[in-house]
Structure formats: C-alpha cells, structure tokens
Amino acid sequence: MAPPGLPSLPEAGSLTEAASQAQVAWLTEAVWAARGGGDAELDQLFWAALVVGLAAALVLSLIFSRFLLRPLRQVRAATHRLADGHYDEVLDVPREPGLAALVEDVNRLATALADVERRRARLVSEIAHEMRTPITTLSGQIEGMADGIFTADDAMFASLTDDLARMRRLTDDLSSLSRVEEGAFTLRRTPTDVSALAESTAERLRPQFDDGRVALTVAPGPPVTALLDPDRVAQVLVNLLGNALAASDPGDRVSVTVRSGHDPVPYAEFAVRDEGIGVAEQDLERVFTRFERVEHPGRAAPAGGSGIGLTIARGIVRAHGGDITATSAGPGRGAVFTVRLPLRPGTGSAGTAAGTAAGTAGTVSGG
C-alpha cells in the first residue's frame, strides 16, 4: 500500500511503459512530500540557532568590549591628566599587543613631558638666579652712589657695565632660542672664506684664553669659500670656543681646524678640539638639548651659561643645511665639536631647521 495521499503503485510484474511512468511519478511525489516536511523542521532549527547565536554574540561582544574598552578608557583618562599637567602617573601595560603599544607610547609621552617640565622649572630657577645677581649688584651700587657711599668713577661704571652686559647676554640667549624654535629669522648669505672666518673669530677670543692660561691654536688651512651667513657661523664658533675654554684647566690646549671635502656634496668643516672634562657617551647628543647642562662630579658649572648655547648653535648650522656633532673619548679626555656646512645652499644632507638672529659678541658665553 502506498502512503496516504500518494498514488498506488501498479501491480508488480507489469513492464509496460504506462506502469513505468506511474512508478516514476509516485517516487517523485514521495520525494517532494518528504522534502517539504524537512524544510519546516530545518527552518525551525535555523531560526532557533540564529536566536541562540545572536544572544551568544551579544553576550560575548559585551564581555569583549568591556575587556577592550577598559584600557582604552584608562588611556583616555591618562591623556586628560597629562593635559592638566600630571606627568607622574604610569599606566599598567596590558597583554594585548596593540593596546600595549598604545599604552607604552602614552607612558613615554608622560616621561618626556615630565622631563621638559623639570628642565623648564630648572630654567626658571636659573634665570631668576642669573638675573638676581646682577640686579642686586646694580641696585646696591646705584643706591651706594646715591647715598654718597660709592664714588661714581670709571671703575664703578665698568662694574655696572659688566652687570648690564651679563643680563643682556641672558636675554639675548632666550630671544635667540625663541627664534630657533619658531624659525623666525632670515640668513644673510654671502660668499665667505670659512678658513679666514674661523681664524679671525678665534683671534678675537684669544685674550680670554690667555687670561685662563689655555693655549689656543688655529690651523685654518687653504681658503674654503661657502655661501653662508658669516655672523651666524661666527656665533657658532664663539659658542664652541667658549665651551672649550670653560671645560679646560690652565695648561690645557684648544685647537681649531678647518678643512673641505666632498661627501657626497662639497662641504666646509671646522672642528673645535679641547683637552678638558670630556663628555660621557650617553650625553653626546643630550648636550644639544635646550636648558640641558651636563654635570661633572667635582666641577662647578660654568658661570653665566644658560644651557641653550649649543641648542642655538645647532639651529644655526642646520638652517644652513649642515649639522654639528660631538665626539669624546669619555670624561676627562676632552671633546671635539665638528661643524659641517655645504658650500652651496640646498645641497646639505641635514635638512633645514630654525636658526637664531642674535648677534655675535666678542666675549665667550658658555652654553
């Protein structure tokens, strides 16, 4: 018997074409009927699985989002604290690599900002100290002259002039640093013999070396002409020579050498070498950081130094398309500061940077 609702099979043994067609029709209808019933069950299973899957996905997404968003919220809160000036908080680094890299970057930013703030606070303190000394002296001397205690003679006016010059150097350095960082100056380039410039600048400072009993030698070499701002470059050399003198003891030697080369473009190079206190390897780049003074145990910091001279010098040199580097065999073994300048503008490899508009004085200003 055929299942209810399906046609009956013809009698067995019939091999006629009509019987064969009837059997095929019965099988076809049976398959379609069976398939129709299965679709309903499959639909129910599909919708049930979909609902369960969506519910599970929602739960997992909530859990996963809380897991991911917690460190992100911490990072966001940390950046707000940084904006408010709180640089001493360090975030815990999560295990997830992407978030770990982000947190490490925020921690590095906080450390860098804390260092900048530390140096800024120290700068304010040092500026106040540097300004207080000459101002106090000036005030005392002027009051003394007004009260008739001091005589307004040449010696007194010379002392007043020295104190005023000290304050002017400090304000000039700060103004120069501002222009270095803002790029607010223009180079007045002119064809200049670097050898002659180095020699004349060094000779102008020779009396100060003689007073300190430090031997100064200049080896200018053949003429080397470069298109540069002679006042700016002379200021760089004044700063380097001043630092070399401050780092030297009586009996030490300081030398200035000039040479030219081609690597890969034509350049002029001058180097200032001293036999003084030297620089530790980890400080060779740090000496160019603004307001940074490298401390040497047992040796006082140079008087009158603002800690920004080398920052200004590097800004000037890089504005010319060149660069300035420091090398040293270590503490107590001297140092060499080398300035390389392209002979023509636009051919340097260091890229441009801001320079300074401060003039060059004939006195040594440590930095």
Q: Give Cβ neighbours of residue 353 (< 8 Å, ≥ 6 apart).
A: 180, 183, 314, 315, 318, 319
pLDDT at residue number 353: 39
DSSP state of 264: S
Helix, strand, or coil here: 255?
strand
Question: What is the C-alpha to C-alpha distance for residues 136 and 141, in angstroms, rounded to an integer?
Answer: 9
The answer to whether the beta carbons of residues 260 and 238 sit under 8 Å apart is no
> What is the rounded distance in angstroms from the CA atom of residue 181 to the CA atom of residue 184?
8
What integer pLDDT is reported at residue 240 of this predicted model? 94
Beta strand 253-262 with 215-219 is parallel
**φ, ψ (nearest 5 deg) of residue 257:** -125, 150
With both helix axes pointing from N to C terminus, report the angle between 154-182 and 97-146 in degrees, rounded to the nearest 10.
Answer: 160
Residues 286, 231, 308: CA angle, nearest 5 degrees: 25
Distance CA(268)–CA(337), nearest Å, equals 14
Domain map (residue ranges) of the chain: 190-297+304-342
Closest to 311 (Cα-Cα) out of 133, 123, 131, 134: 123
49-72 burial code (b ≥16 CB/10 A, e <16): eeeeeeeeeeeeeeeeeeeeeebe
Q: What is the pLDDT of residue 36?
A: 53
Residue ranges of the chain with per-residue pLDDT less than 70: 1-39, 43, 64-68, 130, 181, 183-185, 291-307, 346-367
Alpha helix stretches (DSSP H) within the chain: 17-83, 97-146, 154-182, 194-211, 230-247, 309-319
Distance in angstroms (rounded) separating the CA atoms of residues 207 and 116? 37
Burial class (CB in 10 A: 0-12, 13-18, 19+), 214: buried
CA atoms within 13 A on the CB side of 58: 6
Inter-residue contact 315 to 336 (CB < 8 Å):
no
- How far is C-alpha 241 from the geometric centre of its chain's CA atoms? 26
How far is the CA of 38 from the CAs of 29, 45, 56, 294, in angstroms?
14, 11, 27, 85
**CATH 3.30.565.10 correct for 190-297+304-342:** yes
| Residues 73, 89: Cα–Cα separation, whole Å | 15
User: Quick one: which of 329, 337, 330, 335 has its CA closest to 257?
Assistant: 337
Confidence at residue 4, expressed as pLDDT on a 0 to 100 scale: 53
Phi-psi region of 300 (alpha: psi -120 to 50; beta: other; left: phi over 0): beta
3-state secondary structure of 335: strand
pTM of the model: 0.57
Determine the longest span between alpha carbons in the chain, in angstroms.
150
Contacts 24+ apart (CB under 8 A), 334-338: 334/273, 334/274, 334/275, 334/276, 334/278, 335/244, 335/247, 335/273, 335/274, 335/276, 335/278, 335/279, 336/271, 336/272, 336/273, 336/274, 337/240, 337/243, 337/244, 337/271, 337/272, 338/269, 338/270, 338/271
